[in-house]
Amino acid sequence: EVQLVVSGGGLVQAGGSLRLSCAASGITFDDYAWAWFRQAPGKEREGVTRIGSGVGNPYYADSAKGRFTSYSDRGKNTVYLQMNNLKREDTAVYYCAAAFPSSIATMSEWAYDYWGQGTQVTVSS
């Protein structure tokens, strides 16, 4: 059984940092591309970033560039999202997702096979 367990959300002041984790089990980690999505209240879910061993360059949404970094620890089968200089508009539920194969180059939700449960990130002013 494939499981993606997301942790690390919480309440942070604007300008602060958080690191989200997505621990994967039951999956061959390097075979998949790994993405982070988020859904703010009243808005559609949007793609934030995507990495993978088959991905030439990581993808970052414009809103994430320069502030967010996604990276993985293959030894721990874990993907991280380091978020710095957080803004109120970053408030959302954050999800990690995995898509096969690792070279996939889309942020379309339908392409992602497995999803974590989501974690709430709230940024206060």
- Residue 17's Cβ-count burial label (10 Å; 0-12, 13-18, 19+) is exposed
Is 35:58 a contact under the CB 8 Å cutoff? no
CA–CA distance, 34 with 94 (Å, rounded to integer): 13
CA–CA distance, 34 with 27 (Å, rounded to integer): 12
What percent of the chain lies above the pLDDT cut of 70? 99
Output the pLDDT for position 38.
98
pLDDT class of 57 with cuts at 50, 70, 90: confident
Beta bridge partners of 70: 81
Output the pLDDT for position 55.
65
Cα-based angle 60, 107, 63 (whole degrees, multiple of 5): 30
CA–CA distance, 107 with 116 (Å, rounded to integer): 16
Reply yes or no on whether the pLDDT at 90 is more than 80.
Answer: yes
